């Protein structure tokens, strides 16, 4: 599933082609995605896209009449096509612009969504989300306060979108390694000083991934539209039984909340 850096790169990749462009046609070939594509999406026709941006793992297209909410699910992608490019089997939704370009959603497994709302802040997918991890709101005191009396492990805690959005499985494991915190530690037992290290690590890991994603922006035009998981050098994720890059002890793998967790029991306490 695309994580925050992949979605951020997607938004940046399509934005130059659709921002400030007028929508002339919306085509829905397959309305049965994760949730049905609403008929109200047709209200986008005739509207000009004011901006394209990301909230959590959602790509948002804002217009004067409302906002399109797009989630890529497990296998979806967005790309920019010329209007004479014929759709393929899994190309489910097209948004055509007056500049001759089409924003096309491809989703083989149909776990993604394309929704429409006139009140974004009140939409069920948006209203309860925590702060963005790269925002000024996301600080060590904020996370420390949120964690008091919490008896959930720290990895599950920072992956909770109501606490902070966009810290997916890969980036949670990497951030905990960078900050030296064992993923099994209870969130409520971590000190403010250690949360300062964790917040710094989360911001650093995500920023590096986004920066590396900038090289894939060309892929959104007449191509796959898939930035993929960035090939940054991962310190622990996916490296079970391999030597830790710091202490050379084997990286351990456990399961937490039905997700694989990777860590070094020597470097992370």
- Measured CA to CA, the distance from residue 94 to residue 105 in angstroms comes to 7
Catalogue the long-range contacts made by 47-50 (C-beta closer than 8 Å, 24 or more residues apart).
47/22, 47/23, 48/20, 48/21, 48/22, 48/23, 49/18, 49/19, 49/20, 49/21, 49/23, 49/97, 50/19, 50/20
Q: What is the structure's pLDDT at 3?
A: 86
Give the three-class secondary structure for 68.
strand
Looking at the domain assignment, is residue 62 inside a domain?
Answer: yes
Could you tell me where the DSSP H helices lie in the chain?
Answer: 4-18, 140-147, 154-158, 169-179, 192-213
Residues 114 and 154 in one domain: no
What phi, psi does 190 have (nearest 5°)? -90, 135
The answer to whether residue 80 sits within a structural domain is: yes
The pLDDT, as a whole number, for residue 232 is 64
Confidence of residue 227 (pLDDT cuts 50, 70, 90): low
In a domain, 268, yes or no: no
What lies within 8 Å, CB to CB, of 233 at 6+ separation is none
d(CA 119, CA 114): 15
β-strand pairing of 101-106 with 259-263:
unpaired
Q: What is the pLDDT of residue 23?
A: 98
Q: List the catalytic residues.
A: 2-3, 57, 259
Check residue 2 and give its pLDDT.
79
The residues that bridge with 82 in the sheet, in sequence order, are 101
Say which residues have a Cβ less than 8 Å from residue 125's Cβ, sequence separation at least 6: 58, 69, 71, 115
Q: Rounded distance, CA 258 to CA 260, Å?
A: 7
pLDDT digits (tens, 9 = 90+) for 144-160: 999 998 999 999 999 99
Task: Please give the residue range of the domain that contains residue 248.
Answer: 140-263
CATH of the domain at 186: 1.10.8.50
pLDDT one-digit tens code per residue, 97-133: 999 999 999 999 999 999 999 999 999 999 999 999 9
pTM, 2 dp = 0.91
Instruction: Report the pLDDT value the prediction gives residue 217, as an integer from 0 to 100.
Output: 58
Examine the domain organization and report whether 82 and 175 are in the same domain: no
Work out the average pLDDT over 46-63.
98
In a domain, 128, yes or no: no
Q: What confidence tier does 75 reach under pLDDT thresholds 50, 70, 90?
A: confident
Q: What are the tens digits of pLDDT across the range 164-220?
A: 999 999 999 999 999 999 999 999 999 999 999 999 999 999 999 888 875 555 666
pLDDT, tens digit, 9 for 90 and up, residues 228-251 = 555 567 999 999 999 999 999 999
Asked if residue 32 lies in contact with residue 60, where contact means CB atoms within 8 angstroms, the answer is no
135 domain-assigned: no
For the chain, the domain total comes to 2
Last residue of a domain, one of 75, 94, 122: 122
Average pLDDT over the chain reads 93
Q: What pLDDT is stored for residue 226 in this prediction?
A: 66
Same domain membership, residue 97 and residue 53: yes
Domain boundary among 90, 122, 154: 122
């Amino acid at each position: 599933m695309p994580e925050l850096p992949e979605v951020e790169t997607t938004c940046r990749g399509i934005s130059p082609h659709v921002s400030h462009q007028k929508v002339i046609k919306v085509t829905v070939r397959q309305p049965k995605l994760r949730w049905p594509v609403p008929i109200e999406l047709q209200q986008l026709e005739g509207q000009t896209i004011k901006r394209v941006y990301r909230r959590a793992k959602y790509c948002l297209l804002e217009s004067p009449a409302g906002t399109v909410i797009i989630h890529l699910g497990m296998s979806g992608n967005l790309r920019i096509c010329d209007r004479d490019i014929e759709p393929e089997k899994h190309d489910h939704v097209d948004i055509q612009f007056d500049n001759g370009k089409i924003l096309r959603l491809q989703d083989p497994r149909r776990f993604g969504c394309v929704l429409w709302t006139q009140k974004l802040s009140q939409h069920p997918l948006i209203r309860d989300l925590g702060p963005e991890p790269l925002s000024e709101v996301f600080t060590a005191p904020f996370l420390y306060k949120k964690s008091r009396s919490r008896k959930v492990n720290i990895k599950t805690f920072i992956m909770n979108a109501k606490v902070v959005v966009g810290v997916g499985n890969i980036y949670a494991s990497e951030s905990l390694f960078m900050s030296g915190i064992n993923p099994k530690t209870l969130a409520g037992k971590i000190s403010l000083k250690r949360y300062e290290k964790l917040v710094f690590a989360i911001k650093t890991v995500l920023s590096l991934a986004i920066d590396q994603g900038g090289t894939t922006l060309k892929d959104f035009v007449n191509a796959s539209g898939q930035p993929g998981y960035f090939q940054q050098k991962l310190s622990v994720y996916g490296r079970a039984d391999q030597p830790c890059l710091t202490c050379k002890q084997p990286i351990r793998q456990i399961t937490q909340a039905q997700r694989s967790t990777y860590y070094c029991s020597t470097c992370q306490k």
